[in-house]
Structure 1
Amino acid sequence: MNNLETPISLVRPGLIEFGTGVAARLGAWAAGKRYRRVLVISDAFNATRTGVLGLSGEVTVYGDVKAEPDTSDLDRVLRVAEDAEADLIVGFGGGSAMDLAKLAAVLVGSSQRLADVVGAGKVAEPRKAALAQVPTTSGTGSEAGIRALVTDPETKAKLAVESIHMLGDIAVIDPALTFTVPPKVTAATGVDALAHCVEAFTNRKAHPAIDIYAIEGARLVGRYLARAVRDGGDAEARAGLSLASLYGGYCLGPVNTAGGHALAYPLGTRWHVAHGAANALIFPHVLAFNTPAVPEKTRTVLEALGLPASESVESIFDAAHGFCASLGIEMKLRQLGVLANDLGTMADDAFAIRRLLDNNPRDLSRADILAIYEAAF
């Protein structure tokens, strides 16, 4: 684990607007910057309510973002973006919309293509359009980060791009936009935010400058997630989750996630399980597995969630599993349509994601990964 003397780089969007009812501040900001042509990248539902953003000028809306987008989805977005010639690109939706907005912002008008920028620091030049991010779920934290992911449909692998040029000029986080999120999605995305925080907190690269956000994000999820699942219109609970998601986003840049996300990704790429649901199902397994390597931090996580602390790995698993299951989250792979004969291939996929597994506080072998999948089946 890193200490206070370890160098770390922290980045944030240039401006963050946070609070119930702030969505229209985006339009005021854009007008002040004299942006005339705006492209909003969104899903079908949010495409119908872009008016809340208060945007003026020539506004083009791409409203066909799907969960777990692949390279063909990105190609469609890029074609629309090239035609729009926007001076402002807005990601309006969940992580998929915001990630596609990031990629569109750096690829449109550039000589580079996706293959050129996969990896860290490979975007060669600043983007030509401004970038705004407006989340409508509380989970991904993508509004605060510099990473974007799309799936390669041939290899079923996530292609990750990381660049400071994908940092938003503004993030507008209005919890009111999340009031309509259904209970099951609220639960899954909330545990995704939790996983970002916990995986950063227990990470080999963990740092005190990030720990403070990570553990407070976990506390916010522990305090507010069940409330928001019970009552989607609970404004305080929704605001608490929006803040937890933002804090999780703060964790992703300098520290990033670890084993939990590595094991969750194949559920999305191979079986199209929503990212939040995949992370929620895997979360208790990896938390318990990692406990011997980070016992004190695991105890702190359990306390943050209001769960009984324990030295027993089995008790820790039971507590975390019960927390997720009590929210109505499906906790068995077979109930999500995953077939038993695919678990080995999924283990191969997950074991190859070294950029995340190398962050895990305890080494995860392929056999360990397969054993977790089998236990979750």
Structure 2
Amino acid sequence: MTMHTPPSPAGLALPIAIQRPRLIEFGAGTAPIAGRWAREQQRHRILVVADAFNAGRVGVLDLPGAVTVFGEVRPEPDLPNLQAALELAAEAQPDLVVGFGGGSAMDLAKLVAVLPGSSQTLHEVVGAEKVKARSVALMQVPTTSGTGSEAGTRALITDPATRNKLAVQSLHMLADIAVIDPALTLTLPPAVTAATGVDAMAHCVEAFTSRKAHPLIDMYALEGVRLVGRHLARAIRDGSDIEARAGLALASLYGGFCLGPVNTAAGHAVAYPLGTRHHVAHGAANALIFPHTLAFNAPAVPEKTAAILGALGLTAAAHSDAVFAAAHRYCADLGCEMRLSALDVPREDLPAMASEAHAIRRLLDNNPRDISREEILALYEEAY
């Protein structure tokens, strides 16, 4: 009797799981739904995790009951920042945690929702699906359009001792509700709008070109790039353009959908040391690195690279040099800083940065083309 081995699934048949918040409220003017939902769920001890600016406008959420605000979230939050938030959570004993801000606030909120009272330390939950449970409700309200953290299950915290990002992934950190109100992003200055917009695009681009790419995610990824191409320059020119702001908020959300099942690749790995070692804002780091990694990967994924350039409204190119020139000009025209030297990164630190980036296998193993430490160092040198 002949035994038939079933073929390995590929393309559309490849297994994939996508997760998203149970409820997503999207659109201008939706912020007060946060309070309405909290009342419906009978949540009356609320802890809001925010940066200093957003801590001053918590009232727009119309939250009920006793509201405690941790308003000290830092860009690229680190272990001491998390510890301070956990100490306040231990005092407040919330039944609802709200992340209110950019990715840093939303990432901290995820950890504040699962760690207190769990008997688990942060280091015990680093990795995939090590969180045991969550006993409080979790809401995410983004005020930037970049990270897509409101839709995801990951949180990143910098360890000051190693200057590496600790990544926690857990379904227990998926929000019960995400309230995405583009009106909350109207106050973003042009430089932050540009950097966060390119971050959203990078999530989509890296997922679209990943070794783990999947048709179910490709549609979100390519549409996310299109939305950035259509709306980012508009929002930079006129910050009060609510339609452009909504387009970027949707691009960011789609980027968040890409992160769970597929995730990012070399672009983010190469960008991370700029943040962890030199405190360059995550979006700005991604914008600077984006043209370099897009061009490096182009020979491995030529058709998808052409689709990305087309989605951004740029002329499709086949050769890496032409891909780099088009993408670099696009980011520079948005006002992004494209030289490492202008971001106070010392040249002598580039070799250590290259070693750190090359060690981030959870991302580099997704890249469509293998990239060596020496190639990463050459990329930093070219960007300097």
TM-score (norm 2): 0.97
Give distance in 1, aligned partners of 2:89 and 2:189.
30
TM-score (norm 1): 0.99
* Amino acid across the alignment from 2:32: A
Give distance in 1, aligned partners of 2:120 and 2:87.
15
**Deviation, structure 1 residue 109:** 1.2
Give distance in 2, aligned partners of 1:2 and 1:47.
47
Equivalent in the alignment of 2:19: 11
Give distance in 1, aligned partners of 2:10 and 2:312.
24
CA change 1:227–1:217 in 2 (3 A) is: same
* Amino acid across the alignment from 2:97: I
**Deviation, structure 1 residue 295:** 0.2
Equivalent in the alignment of 2:5: none
Asked if 1:288 is matched to 2:295, the reply is yes
Find the partner of 1:330 among 325, 334, 337: 337
Equivalent in the alignment of 1:115: 123
Equivalent in the alignment of 2:274: 267
Q: Is the 8 A contact 1:119 1:160 kept in 2?
A: yes
Give distance in 2, aligned partners of 1:116 and 1:310.
46
Give distance in 2, aligned partners of 1:193 and 1:258.
14
Post-superposition CA distance 1:204-241 (Å, at most 9, x none): 00000000000000000000000000111000000000
Asked if 1:57 is matched to 2:65, the reply is yes
Q: Is the 8 A contact 1:2 1:207 kept in 2?
A: no
Equivalent in the alignment of 2:89: 81
Post-superposition CA distance 1:310-343 (Å, at most 9, x none): 1111011000000000011000000000011000
Asked if 1:177 is matched to 2:184, the reply is yes
Asked if 1:248 is matched to 2:234, the reply is no
**Deviation, structure 1 residue 2:** 5.2
Q: Is the 8 A contact 1:120 1:161 kept in 2?
A: yes
Q: What secondary structure does 1:4 align onto?
A: helix
Equivalent in the alignment of 1:258: 265
Post-superposition CA distance 1:91-136 (Å, at most 9, x none): 0000000000000111011010101000011112x21110000000
Give distance in 2, aligned partners of 1:7 and 1:173.
29
Equivalent in the alignment of 1:213: 220
Post-superposition CA distance 1:30-52 (Å, at most 9, x none): 10000010000000000010011
| 5+ long unaligned stretches in structure 2 | 1-8
Find the partner of 1:234 among 228, 237, 241: 241
Count how many residue pairs are aligned between Structure 1 and Structure 2. 376
> Share of identical aligned residues, percent?
68
Equivalent in the alignment of 2:3: none
Equivalent in the alignment of 1:154: 161
**Deviation, structure 1 residue 372:** 0.5
Give distance in 1, aligned partners of 2:10 and 2:292.
24
Equivalent in the alignment of 2:6: none
Give distance in 2, aligned partners of 1:82 and 1:324.
43
Give distance in 1, aligned partners of 2:78 and 2:318.
42
* Amino acid across the alignment from 1:221: V
Q: What secondary structure does 1:161 align onto?
A: strand
Give distance in 2, aligned partners of 1:207 and 1:26.
33
